[in-house]
Amino acid sequence: MISLSVIVCSIVQLASSASCPQSIPTVSVVPRCPSNEKEWISAAKRKNCSALENCQTCSKDRSFVYHCVLNKNATELVEVCAPIWYMSGFCARFSMTDRRIINDDPALDCTKFVPPCLTRFPSNESFKYQMCYRHIKFSTASQSEKGEHTTFVMTVIIAVLVILVILVISLLIFIRINWKKNNNSIKPRCEKIAENVYELDELIIESKDDSKEIEKISLDTTRKDVVEEVANFVTMSGKNILCSLKNVVTIRDLREKLSEKESVPLKCLLVVDKENGVLYQDATVFEPCKKERYTLMVGNTNRTQGFKEDGNVHTDVISNKQISHGKCQMCCGHFTVPETLFDWVKDKLPGSGDVELQCPRCSDVWEEEELVKKCNMSEDEKLFLNCVLEVNEKTKKMKQ
């Protein structure tokens, strides 16, 4: 006779096996998965699947959580928010087609790996069985899933753009209506001013040379000079740079003006908040009244300068691309290029609360001294990295 617990368990499994459309937008390809519980907790916090708890309809028992598993064809590692599925001795995979965790590939029978996995374990605990991740076979089979995901993302982007266009049109209509109201209310005053301007335009003066004819002075020529607001910005190393704020609306506008004025490549000139150890994003609105909180960071225009070439081809540990020149070797033995390493540093450290970076392929850590050297940082970048690490250290102590 079948026990009640077995029936309940079967019902839960069937319910969780249903497809979960809300998981698809959360899928992202990653170079590695957490290798222990501490890393899993950190990655889960970053992914923040709990923010979708009230939006998803796939699970009612709060089992819609962070996963790091193989994709359907076992060619890549993906992070995804999905309901927990109890694996029956196979490596966990996520299928974009089925929209759920799947558990049906005899070739990924992890009970036969060394060390073996349990014959039954929850899918979100896949980090305990790292041997599943070591058997990825890269192929072009995953292109269909990538195409499916790309199509979905493009659909979302188009929908967002349509909404933004509608909002902008509505805003312009609202501004025009208000402008007409204000224009009608000040019309008498404008007419009076126009009369005064007409009188001024008719003013005449005699030339210093009596032989010259009397000339009229056009009032327009006295009104052409417009005073532009100019602000002073300071770099991390203390250099002052004056820049016009005309037409500056976003941080991107400011960077472009400063880049043109100082003849520095745009990618080598960033705007930072050194007090909080964060980088300003290009889309951030620039606030002229708070100029003192914007600091400039001028970067190195030639990061590969000084690195020796060995003529060998290596795989970039961060981008997974093949590299043959301009590369640097990290303390753990893996290779990357200074530009990629610097982009990774400014993406991972500011605002993270971490005081060091971990190699994306092994457990070795890269500390400040090595990052400064291998990124070939400028003086401004060194000073900003120091600010970031100080802020992160304080944040870490406060959390503890």
Instruction: State both tokens at 173.
Output: 């209509």
Instruction: State both tokens at 50.
Output: 């709990």
Residue 157 has pLDDT above 80, yes or no: yes
Task: Indicate the residue among 243, 270, 298 that finishes a domain.
Answer: 298
* 119 and 28 in a common domain: yes
Instruction: State both tokens at 166.
Output: 């509608």
Evaluate whether residue 282 is within a structural domain.
Answer: yes
| Residue 150 pLDDT | 72
pLDDT in tens, 291-317: 788 999 999 988 988 787 778 899 999
Instruction: State both tokens at 317.
Output: 């540990």
Residue 165 has pLDDT above 90, yes or no: yes
* 8 and 125 in a common domain: yes
Question: Per the omega criterion (within 30 degrees of 0), is the bond before 360 cis?
Answer: no
| Residue 91 pLDDT | 93
Q: Name every residue whose Cβ is closer than 8 Å to that of residue 230 and which is 6 or more positions away in sequence.
A: 242, 243, 244, 245
* 14 and 96 in a common domain: yes
Evaluate whether residue 155 is within a structural domain.
Answer: no
Evaluate whether residue 325 is within a structural domain.
Answer: yes
Mean pLDDT score, 67-93: 93
Q: Are 123 and 85 in contact (CB under 8 A)?
A: yes
* 368 and 337 in a common domain: yes
* 114 and 57 in a common domain: yes
| Residue 170 pLDDT | 92
| Residue 219 pLDDT | 38
* 103 and 78 in a common domain: yes
* Least confident residue range of 121-130, 222-231, 308-317, 372-381: 222-231
Mean pLDDT score, 130-150: 61
- Please state the domain count of the chain: 3
Q: Are 322 and 313 in contact (CB under 8 A)?
A: yes
Evaluate whether residue 177 is within a structural domain.
Answer: no
* 336 and 278 in a common domain: no
Q: How confident is the model at residue 58 (pLDDT cuts 50, 70, 90)?
A: confident
| Residue 137 pLDDT | 52
Instruction: Kindly provide the residue ranges of all beta strands, DSSP E only, lying in the chain, ordered along the sequence.
Output: 28-30, 64-71, 77-83, 86-87, 93-95, 100-102, 121-122, 204-205, 215-216, 230-235, 240-244, 269-273, 278-279, 295-298, 314-315, 322-323, 328-329, 335-336, 357-358, 365-366
Task: Indicate the residue among 87, 118, 139 that finishes a domain.
Answer: 139
* 381 and 285 in a common domain: no
Evaluate whether residue 379 is within a structural domain.
Answer: yes
Residue 236 is part of a domain; what is its CATH number?
Answer: 3.10.20.90
Evaluate whether residue 281 is within a structural domain.
Answer: yes
Evaluate whether residue 304 is within a structural domain.
Answer: no
**What b/e readout covers 316-349, taking b as 16+ CB neighbours within 10 angstroms?**
bbbbeeebeeebbebeeebbbbbbbbbebbbeeb
* 113 and 32 in a common domain: yes
| Residue 353 pLDDT | 84
Assign 108 to helix, strand or coil. Answer: helix
Residue 164 has pLDDT above 70, yes or no: yes
Mean pLDDT of the chain: 81
* CA 360 to the chain's CA centroid: 18
| Residue 226 pLDDT | 39
| Residue 4: how many other CB atoms lie within 10 Å | 7
**What is the domain range of residue 361?**
314-399
pLDDT in tens, 196-235: 544 544 443 444 444 444 344 343 434 344 346 888 999 9
* 395 and 276 in a common domain: no
* 353 and 290 in a common domain: no
Task: Indicate the residue among 139, 164, 185 that finishes a domain.
Answer: 139
Evaluate whether residue 74 is within a structural domain.
Answer: yes
Mean pLDDT score, 89-115: 90
Give percent above pLDDT 90 in the chain: 51
Cα-based distances in Å from 103 to 34, 70, 100, 109, 122: 20, 11, 10, 10, 11
* 387 and 358 in a common domain: yes
